[in-house]
Amino acid sequence: MAQEATGKSPWYSTLRRCGHLNFNEQDPLTMDVEAWTDYFLSLKVQALMPNGGGILAFYPTVVPFHRRSQFLGSRDLFGETVASARKHKLRVVARMDCNYAYEDAFQAHPEWFELNKDGSPKRHAECPWLYKTCLFSAYFTEQIPAIYRELNERYGPDAFYTNGWPGTEALEVCHCRNCQKVYQEQTGGTPPETTDTRSAVYRKYYEVYMDRVAEVWKLWQDTVAQKSRTCVYAGNLSGVRAVKDVHRLGKAAAWFYADNQGRSGDEPIWMCAQEGRLAWAIASDRGITNSVGSYASSLPGWRHTSKPRQEATLWMAQAAASGMAPSYHWLGGQPMDTRWKETGRSFFSWLAENESHFRNRGTLANLAVLYPQSTISFYAANGQRERRLNGQPIESTDYLEGMYAALLGNRFLFDFIHEKDLSAATLMKYRALLIPNAAYMRDSECEAIRTYVASGGSVLATFETSLYNEWGEPRKEFGLGDILGVTAAGAMIGPLGNSYMHMDKSHPVLEGFEGTTILPGAEFRIPVTQNKSETFSLSVIPNYPAFPPEMVYPRVRSTNEPAAIFRDLGSARVVYFPGDIDRTFQRSGNPDFSRLMSNAIRWMLNGSEPPAAVEGRGLVELFAWETEPGFTLHILNYTNPGLTHPYISDFYPTGPLKTRFQVPGGRKIQRVRALRNSRELSFRQVGETVTFEVPEVMDYEVVALT
Ligand SMILES: [Zn+2]
């Protein structure tokens, strides 16, 4: 890991704002470098990211096959930008692309490039004159380092960043001679084209591939640090739907650079905050930056028109709230749409005015949500997801998304914890661990959870949690069967609608369901029996016809099959739902599931005061931090018809919000300020509890307690 020679924190770990202009090939004809620097200075950025090279060089390179922009002429666009940035004491990140090169490179070095199965070169889908480079070739170990050395020698940038590499998506399978050799010598054959851990060859390839990524990452870090020890290489990571192991990639990264620029398709607005939670779980001890697209990302998307101001602002706000530094990104030096400029200026300059309150020491969350990497990477994967509904694949992240939505809707404060970080030490600070269908788990991870429960920690788990090892090989029993209190009693059942949960007897988890004796059932479930024959509160009513109405009646009104297990083990409490209630909630939106999860969590917390409690209308996401000057409560206002379908194009203010905030250690608070509204808030402190009212939240509010 690159460190400042002085022993201070490295510069990228304290970076809070970055500006990123992606040059295009024509830019050298017209680009006004000083004007662009002026714009980014108006955003109070601390670093600029201009293009260095890779696909195209924006400086007069002499590295063979490193193609200069055909419009470069006598200009040195990268050099001019570095000089301009230096003049204003801005850091410079050389933005590189290692993924494609031109025909002449392919003719001279065919061994650098990926081949299809039929031996033809892989080309870029939109720009077929570009050839895809192969990770296992010397392009990565010789050509790219040669370019880094040249840039370093001439300009000495503070960092290098590679667009699109390594990424977190599925592994590439290449049929070039290098890769054939790797397959023969290291993986036991050519791996399947799709993610499929049922194949022993795929599993070996996954390890060989991740090893190669780590080897290249280290080589590049060593190369860029040759001129200055503080120079850092950053790969492109963004990760909640990762196939590649984000933990391993993140640990290789001195600087965690996420690339979650906006929504593509019907994703919920909170995807950026979710990204930040995962990044923080892995890289809280380092700098985390997230690229925010100012262009209109969506499906379809537009690279040259602006994202609506409200959508872009909320995306930047989520990055900041979740502990990441936003890097504001535009493409091309001659914009025909400049509406995005003021959006960035307005938010970034506010961020700069309040910078100290974005220097986080740690979160105050009392709940941990397991990020189940193995399940998310490999679950039921055979190229086509095994389980599909109405032609739609069931995504391995659906369970996490459903639980996330329930947590957000009920205003819990929570952190993500990566499965590889499960240990007594990391779990100690949390009152409960929530496990959204971690079907694939290592024995060691089961053991860490067992130890946590033995020490008084509470656990909520759903569906197939621990039924398989990390590669998806079925266990004879739940790996956590002793904790969950159940034994599997047959194969998974589903998808079935119109099944129910019958409330057999009262329980605190079932409060608030007055007026009904049944609740909607999960779409899939694992039939289970209890290890100890105890009565239970919720039993399965199996599905029955939903049509025609004459046939719509339960054939059985309750069964001996539990639909939930609530275990009181002294200070530890365990909740297990054999159904996929998290995913069923994500899919249906039925609020009974959200209430059930929320009630279960409150029961597990057993009366302990939440770190922050916010009362009032609206859908908000909360973050609470200990900061350098004190504490902050971040309130993101998602109350909006554009919540799950881009774009948010107006704000619907919420407030007043009555707030209770627990100050760790009972530190005496002198001042409570709403930073976005720029006003003092009156407050009362009794012991550790500070109460105040936030009058209105338009888009986002940060309450600073100092
Ligand atoms: Zn290859």
**Across 245-249, 372-376, 379-383, 616-620, least confident range:** 379-383
Q: CA-CA distances (angstroms) from residue 52 to 97, 154, 234?
A: 9, 11, 14
pLDDT of residue 5: 43
How confident is the model over 302-314, as a mean pLDDT? 98
- pLDDT of 452 reads 98
pLDDT tens for 192-236 read 999 999 999 999 999 999 999 999 999 999 999 999 999 999 999
For residue 135, report the distance from its CA to the centre of ligand 1, in Å. Answer: 7
**pLDDT of 144:** 98
Of 237-246, 352-361, 648-657, minimum mean pLDDT range: 237-246
Q: Which residue has the higher pLDDT, 285 or 512?
A: 512
Is the distance from CB of 537 to CB of 506 less than 8 angstroms?
yes
Separation of CA 505 and ligand 1 centre (Å): 61
Output the CA 186–ligand 1 centroid distance in Å: 14
- Ligand 1 centroid–CA 352 distance in Å is 45
Q: What percent of the chain has pLDDT over 70?
A: 98
- Distance between Cα 202 and ligand 1 center (Å): 16
Report how far ligand 1's centroid is from the alpha carbon of 696 (Å): 56
Output the six-digit token pair for 221. Answer: 């870090």
Residue 99 alpha carbon to ligand 1 centre in Å: 12
Does the pLDDT of residue 2 top 50, yes or no?
A: no
pLDDT bucket at 20, cuts 50 / 70 / 90:
very high
Distance from Cα 155 to the centre of ligand 1, integer Å: 32
Q: Is the pLDDT of residue 184 over 60?
A: yes
Query: Taking the model in full, what pTM does it have?
Result: 0.96
Q: Residue 141 C-alpha to ligand 1 middle, in angstroms?
A: 13
| Count, residues in the chain | 706
Confidence of residue 175 (pLDDT cuts 50, 70, 90): very high
Between the CA of 370 and the centroid of ligand 1 the distance, in Å, is 35
pLDDT digits (tens, 9 = 90+) for 410-422: 999 999 999 999 9
Least confident piece of the model among 217-221, 382-386, 539-543: 382-386
CA 215 – ligand 1 centroid, Å: 16
Q: What is the reported pLDDT for 264?
A: 87
User: How many whole angstroms from 59 Cα to the centroid of ligand 1?
Assistant: 29
Q: How far is the CA of 130 from the centre of ligand 1 (A)?
A: 16
Res 7: pLDDT: 59
Q: What is the pLDDT of residues 113-160, one digit of tens each?
A: 999 999 999 999 999 999 999 999 999 999 999 999 999 999 999 999
Task: Tell me the pLDDT band of 282, cut-offs 50, 70 and 90.
Answer: very high
pLDDT at residue 516 greater than cutoff 50: yes
Question: Is the preceding omega at residue 548 within 30 degrees of 0, hence cis?
Answer: yes
pLDDT over 90 (residue 238): no
| pLDDT of 534 | 79
The average confidence (pLDDT) of the chain is 95
Q: 37 is written with which tokens?
A: 């620097």
**Confidence label for 384 from pLDDT (cuts 50, 70 and 90):** very low
Tell me the sheet residues that pair with 18.
Answer: 47, 327
Give the model's confidence band at 3: pLDDT under 50 very low, under 70 low, under 90 confident, else very high: very low
pLDDT at 558: 83
d(CA 159, CA 94) in angstroms, rounded, equals: 6
| C-alpha of residue 285 to centroid of ligand 1, in Å | 35
CA of 250 to the centre of ligand 1 (A): 24
Pairing outcome for strands 18-22 and 325-331: parallel
Q: What is the pLDDT of residue 4?
A: 41
Cα of 132 to ligand 1 centre, how many Å? 10
pLDDT at 239: 79
Pair 404, 411: CB distance under 8 Å: no
- pLDDT score, position 380: 77
Helices (H), 568-622: 581-588, 591-605
Centroid of ligand 1 to alpha carbon of 192 (angstroms): 14
The Å distance, Cα 101 to ligand 1 centre, comes to 14
Distance 178 CA to ligand 1 centre (A): 5
Listed in sequence order, the residues at least 6 apart from 545 whose beta carbon sits closer than 8 Å to its beta carbon are 498, 551, 552
558 vs 408, residue with greater confidence: 408
Residue 437 CA, ligand 1 centroid: distance in Å: 35
Give the Å distance between the CA of 198 and the centre of ligand 1: 23
pLDDT score of 243 more than 70: yes
User: 92-107: per-residue pLDDT in tens?
Assistant: 999 999 999 999 999 9
- Cα-to-chain-centroid distance, residue 540: 34
Answer yes or no: are the C-beta atoms of 247 and 280 closer than 8 Å.
Answer: no
